[in-house]
Each structure stands twice: as structure tokens, then as C-alpha cells.
Amino acid sequence: MTPNDPSPFATPVSEPTTDFSDYQPSQPLQQIPPSDPEGSQPWTDLLVASGTWLASVLFLIFVPLVLVVPYIIYLIVSGTLPSPAALGNDKTVLFLSILGVVPAHVLTFFMIWLIVTRGGKLPFFKAAGLEWPKSWSPVKWTVACIVFALLLLGFGLLVTKLYGGSKTQLDLLMESSTQARLATAFLAFATAPLVEELIYRGVLYSALERTLGVAVAVVIVSALFAGVHVIQYINNISVIAVITLLSISLTLVRAYSGKLLPSVVIHLVFNGVQSAMLVLQPYLEGADKNVPPAPGLVAFTHFLHRLF
């Protein structure tokens, strides 16, 4: 055997092939998760989304009781507990029921944060869609959202001024005390826009869109947002109409933009103007006492403190 002869133990080396016609992937392509973060959000599971929404409603019902019940116990101990009808109109009870929405919103936000970030493993703002779409620049989106919110607000004021309506229970609640009015203004601006958009246009819309499609998601979310107010404002159709318009508009913006931030900004501007009206209401009324407020206008300017 010469030095150039191949070893009898050597494995013959074949030329590399470039024919991949018979290649079969180990995982079917349709089973590979989408790269779009929208499709992999933790809240896109419909069962998780429904449970999150239900929990947020229960928070709004029961958490304020944590503040109201001790006051009622105090009245019982002191022997000054009024009748149930009078207790329902007690200024302190009304104020505490509004103030109790703040911890309810905090708990709701923390619950959503845990779900969206998977316990802190994902960045919250990106996972929640709290960013501007890439179709326009952030400046253009900001200006567009502000203008759109002001147009919605102007149309809503026009509707309530023209058609009016009877005073609702919420009207009476807001007129009960200065503290109740200011607490409502704070909630409408500081917590409601973000928390409510995360629940409806965030959690619910994302799950419904992925499960049932865009059109069905828009209809269900818009109807659910507006529907929860029908009983509360049953005697004021103009306010219900304005809420329905707001709901449809915010949901359509969410569907069009593919992100949650535009809806939050519109909601924030819309509520912010209302909050300013609530704070300045005594001064505005005192500026011209001969001009009576338009029927239903008070209801419209006050409805935002418990949108959900």
C-alpha cells in the first residue's frame, strides 16, 4: 500500500448535495407561533380575558365596601345609624363609595400587569401595546388623537344640550358634596382612562379579535362598554347615546391602529376636559347665575367616574 492509497478504514467522502426536494420540516409551518407580538400576548386567551374582566367588575363592587363598612359600623356604635333610605343619601357614604374606586383600579391594574408581563418577565408597555403605530409619526398620532377626542366631546355636549334628559342617580351623587365631585374628577383623569382601556380595548378586544375576528370583537367590546351603563342611565337616553358613540369610536381606533395607546390618549383627553369642567363647575356657574344649566349636561359631565 502506498502512502497515497486510501485507508481501508476511511469513510468515503461524498460530494455535498444541494437537492432539498425531499426535506420535511420537523414542525409544520402552520404550527409555528407568529412573530407578531399581537398574536402572542398572554391575554389573547379568551378564558383568561373573560376572567380578568369579571374580576375587575367584582373589584368595583366590593372594594369600595372596605371603606364604607367601617363608617357604617361607626354609626351603629355611636347610635346614629339612619334609615336605609337616608343612609343611601349620606354624603360620607357617597364620597367613600367614589373614593373606593381608586384601590379597585389599582388592584385591576396590578392584575393586568401580572397577566400581560407573565409575572414581570415581559416589558409591560410593549406587551400591552402601549406604543404608537408605525404608520404615522408619534407627533401626528398625538395631534390626531387630541383633535378626535375634542370632536367627540363637542358632539357629546351638543347631543346632551339638544335632547337633555332627566337627572340620573349619578347626577344626585355628584351634587351631594364638593368632595364627591372632586373625587370623581380625579378618577376620571388619573386612573379611569388607562385601567378601563386595558380591560376593554386591551384584554377583551385582543382575545376576541384573535378568537372571533376583528368585526365581532369591535361589536362585542363596543356593546359591552356601553351596555353596562344602560341600567345606570336608563332615564337619560342622550347620555347613553354619547357613551355608545364613545365606545364605538375607541374600539374602532383600537382596531384600525393595532395598538392600545391611541385609545388611551383619546380617552385621557376626553376625560381630562370633563374633569376640568367638574373642578371649575362652581366658578362657571357663579359667572352667570341667570343661565340655567342645560338638561342632561350635568349627567354627561359626571358619568365617567364609573365607566366600568
Q: State the average pLDDT over residues 17-44.
A: 45
Residue 87 pLDDT: 84
Residue 175 pLDDT: 77
Contacts of 55 (CB under 8 A, 6+ apart): 108, 111
Round to whole Å and give the CA distance between 183 and 92: 12
Round to whole Å and give the CA distance between 200 and 191: 14
Helix axes 91-99, 178-190, angle to 10 degrees: 10
Round to whole Å and give the CA distance between 12 and 106: 70
Q: State the average pLDDT over residues 294-304.
A: 37
What separation in angstroms does the CA of 194 have from each of 56, 121, 187, 202, 275?
13, 21, 11, 10, 15
Contacts of 299 (CB under 8 A, 6+ apart): 160, 165, 167, 168, 170, 171, 233, 236, 239
Residue 164 pLDDT: 72
Residue 294 pLDDT: 35
* 53-74 pLDDT, tens digit each: 999 999 999 999 999 999 999 9
Residue 230 pLDDT: 74
Nine cell digits for residue 300: 354627561
Is the Cα dihedral 211, 213, 214, 220 positive or negative? negative
